A and B are shown apart, each in its own frame.
Chain A
């Protein structure tokens, strides 16, 4: 593997029943970059992310995080690799029986070795990063959808992971909060050198934070474009790709 890449996906194939959702998908993510995955609704972005985090085993192909084959889960390196990654799920995935603060405290108190007061202070810091410092005592069922998203982000950031997977971080957020989340993503990337993989449809945030992007095709299951977002918008040979990045319907 190259010196620079931290994630390598080789020939990934995902099949649900008869449906070839992903087929021959290969790409690498460099250490410390912000990598964007786009594609139409139902093109398999969340599915790709579930495979990259080892939640599902692929029908074919390999996925390496560092030198660990994430598909061969159960290996000893696998759980060590899991501690290096943070994941924000599409719907937040907070534990419903715990308060927002307890959700964020869970990984911190389990893995950081800090005493209780320090964990509480850390939770306060993480919650204020996402603007939820006043909602620590609320249950997930008592906050809005966008707030759940932000609380999930705080939990994904809890242990300052090396690699951060974000599934639609700005979906359901107002433009101002979404821009703040973009700033936060850039800040984390710059100060901690975190590699960040983002699934998103939000064009503003793609151009604000994205360094490289891949686009998944809706029918083929292949990668139909790859490169810097602005290049894809302006110079990609495929009109479908240019339309995606300029938000234009066909025939205009």
Chain B
């Protein structure tokens, strides 16, 4: 804010003639341009005196009045903690009267309860309840999905295959460059780091086994899933939540469509088809990355490297990685859509739906990966 000018033209005069009556005389314009100065002069000249029972505002010398000028009077009333019947106007021109008539100098009389939530403890409780309700809703959502799936099995033509194909492209084909690049570099780094250790034992060739085994059964599915969660899980949530807040989903419901079948199922199917394929590509790119290190730094022949990579893999490992990625795809698509459907409110809800979709699905991916590890150790 600008500092007070050293000399400011006085715009009001305050006089306390009688015992508890304050006379305020406004002079010159009282409008949006002079309101800051008026407010400054008001707080400087009004005594913080509780005995004042009556305020008279004199408009005789007011040249221009708008609702900003009226606001100055309202502030006067507020500062002195008066009621509006303790306020009176003198020398009021008809056009000024009109402006003041629109302003309510008392407290607004509101019967509408505010939607604002209460204190910290209440909000903590609300948050806890909504976490549990979120869990219940998710279970309900899964149940509804099963019903939608059954309906589709009964009436296959109700499945929106064209939508599913579009999502396969955006979720799968469009993600290939980034998944490929990340896996290639990951394979490269893994081969390089492990070769530092393994070459001490002259076990250079096992770099190939390490890279292919780790990528195909463990890191490939996880990396791919995390990339897809960030790219597409968030997109699903954003699309669906935008539709939700603009009542598009409500429109679908009243037209008799099942939004789960219409919006969720195509996305789930698309993700479950393309994510495993992306995972296979991730493995191939990782092996290629390792191959670069193996050939350039460890002087292995490409043939031997690939041979060793394939030998390290059993069919079981491949299928294991594959089935994990199917489960991850299901998790990503379901949480993305679920968070989208949960959205309430305005534009901010879209952002938080996308964020929480990514956070939740990455958490679930890691959780289920540990479940897979436990299953495998008791196999």
Residues of A bordering B, CB below 8 Å: 96-97, 112-115, 117-118, 121-122, 124-126, 128-129, 133-135, 137-142, 159-160, 187, 190-192
Q: Is B301 an interface residue (CB 8 A)?
A: no
- Are the C-beta atoms of A125 and B115 separated by less than 8 Å? no
- Are the C-beta atoms of A142 and B115 separated by less than 8 Å? yes
Q: If the complex has contacts A97-B346, A113-B1, A141-B344, are A125 and B74 also in contact, measured as CB distance less than 8 A?
A: yes
- Are the C-beta atoms of B35 and A133 separated by less than 8 Å? no
- Are the C-beta atoms of B347 and A97 separated by less than 8 Å? yes
Q: If the complex has contacts A115-B39, A133-B108, A137-B116, are A159 and B32 also in contact, measured as CB distance less than 8 A?
A: yes
Stretch at the interface among B63-71, B221-229, B307-315: B63-71
Contact of A117 among B75, B98, B347, B348 (CB under 8 A): B75
Contact of B112 among A97, A115, A126, A135 (CB under 8 A): A135
- Are the C-beta atoms of A129 and B112 separated by less than 8 Å? no
Q: How far is the CB of B164 from chain A (nearest CB, A)?
A: 30
- Are the C-beta atoms of A134 and B346 separated by less than 8 Å? no
- Are the C-beta atoms of B346 and A140 separated by less than 8 Å? yes
Chain B: residues with Cβ within 8 Å of the partner, total of: 36
Cα-based distance from A91 to B112 in the complex (angstroms) = 24
- Are the C-beta atoms of B1 and A125 separated by less than 8 Å? no
Stretch at the interface among B99-107, B277-285, B289-297: B99-107
- Are the C-beta atoms of B115 and A114 separated by less than 8 Å? no
Contacts of A125 in B (CB 8 A): 67, 70-71, 74, 103-104
Other A-B contacts than A125-B104, A160-B32, 8 sampled, CB-CB below 8 A, are A96-B345, A115-B39, A117-B75, A118-B39, A118-B72, A129-B67, A141-B245, A142-B115
Q: Which of chain B's residues has its CB closest to A133's CB?
A: B108
Contacts of A142 in B (CB 8 A): 115
Contacts of A115 in B (CB 8 A): 36, 39
Q: If the complex has contacts A96-B346, A187-B98, are A124 and B108 also in contact, measured as CB distance less than 8 A?
A: yes
Q: Which of chain A's residues has its CB closest to B104's CB?
A: A128
Residues of B bordering A, CB below 8 Å: 1-2, 31-32, 35-36, 39, 66-68, 70-72, 74-75, 78, 95, 98-99, 102-104, 108, 110-112, 114-116, 245, 344-349
Cα-based distance from A126 to B67 in the complex (angstroms) = 8
Q: If the complex has contacts A122-B71, A125-B70, A187-B102, are A112 and B36 also in contact, measured as CB distance less than 8 A?
A: yes
Q: Which of chain B's residues has its CB closest to A119's CB?
A: B71
Q: If the complex has contacts A121-B74, A187-B98, A191-B95, are A112 and B348 also in contact, measured as CB distance less than 8 A?
A: no
Q: Which of chain A's residues has its CB closest to B95's CB?
A: A191
Contacts of B31 in A (CB 8 A): 160
Contacts of B344 in A (CB 8 A): 141
Contacts of A190 in B (CB 8 A): 98
- Are the C-beta atoms of A122 and B68 separated by less than 8 Å? yes
Contacts of B102 in A (CB 8 A): 128-129, 187
Q: How far is the CB of A194 from chain B (nearest CB, A)?
A: 10
Contact of A138 among B36, B74, B115, B349 (CB under 8 A): B115
- Are the C-beta atoms of B347 and A121 separated by less than 8 Å? no
- Are the C-beta atoms of A118 and B67 separated by less than 8 Å? no
- Interface core residue of B68, B74, B99, B114 (most chain A CB under 10 Å): B68
Contacts of A191 in B (CB 8 A): 66, 95, 98-99
Contacts of A139 in B (CB 8 A): 115, 345-346
Q: Which of chain B's residues has its CB closest to A137's CB?
A: B114
Q: How far is the CB of B153 from chain A (nearest CB, A)?
A: 38
Q: How far is the CB of B268 from chain A (nearest CB, A)?
A: 28
Contacts of A187 in B (CB 8 A): 98, 102
Cα-based distance from A124 to B362 in the complex (angstroms) = 46
